[in-house]
Amino acid sequence: MTATTTLTARALLLDMDSTLVNSEAVVERCWRRWAAEQGLDAAEVLAVVHGRQGWATMAALLPDRPMERNMADNRRMLAQETADMDGVEPVPGAPAFMAALAGLPHALVTSADIALSDARMGAAGLPMPEVRITAESVGASKPDPEGFLKGAAELGFAPEDCLVFEDSEAGIEAGRAAGMRVIGVGDRAAAFAPTAQVRDLTQVRVEARADGVLAVHLTP
């Protein structure tokens, strides 16, 4: 990105982990423990965990494992993650970005559950959007588009009027499958062909126009 790029939308749909909140250290600690318990290579596990609900990652890694065990491990891991806020902080630019969205149509669409999203947004000092789609809200994990489609519906906008902010392959695929444009956040996102990509949220400025259009300016 060599010059300012502007995308327009009527609503923004925001992933949480590694998009608004840097929780990478906690995620790595929890999944390394799980990988060791299962006798799996931690690097291979960490390569696929981002963006999905935990049970979906487990099912992808261990396809013959009973889903009841995945769901039990998922509940245990969510409890561990919710209790561990060491190193959780806002992604650079996230506080100003969220402040700029106050009163504008936006929603959180996360694979975390209510308790974990409360804990991480709180630890990062970020306001919780009035509309929030969590693990409890959906029957399918990203890369399924259900979460983003529900977020758009709750805000009252068509999918094509929404702009997604995401960091992971699963999340970017979910946004595209929902018929939405996607701004990739962070270096990991660049590999998955988002509509546009930024290093972090310091490169994003949101302008609310009089006609209700949100102009999202992406600067180098």
Q: What's the rounded Cα separation, in Å, for the pair 106 and 98?
A: 10
User: pTM to 2 decimals?
Assistant: 0.90
3-state secondary structure of 28: helix
Asked if residues 168 and 182 have their Cβ atoms less than 8 Å apart, the reply is no
At residue 2 the predicted structure's pLDDT band, cuts being 50, 70 and 90, is low
Q: What is the pLDDT of residues 61-120, one digit of tens each?
A: 999 999 999 999 989 988 999 999 999 999 999 999 999 999 999 999 999 999 999 999
**72 sits in which H/E element:** helix 67-83
Q: Tell me, yes or no, if 118 is annotated catalytic.
A: no
Position 1 pLDDT exceeds 70:
no
Catalytic residue among 17, 113, 144, 200: 17
Q: What's the rounded Cα separation, in Å, for the pair 90 and 156?
A: 28
Q: Is the dihedral of CA 184, 189, 195, 196 positive or negative?
A: positive
Q: Tell me, yes or no, if 211 is annotated catalytic.
A: no
Other CB atoms closer than 10 Å to residue 139's CB: what's the count? 6
Q: What is the pLDDT of residues 191-220, one digit of tens each?
A: 999 999 999 999 999 999 999 999 999 998
190-199 long-range Cβ contacts below 8 angstroms, 24+ apart: 192/168, 194/166, 195/7, 196/1, 196/5, 196/7, 197/1, 198/1
- Rounded mean pLDDT of the chain? 94
Name 106's Cβ contacts closer than 8 Å, sequence gap at least 6.
11, 12, 13, 14, 129, 131, 155
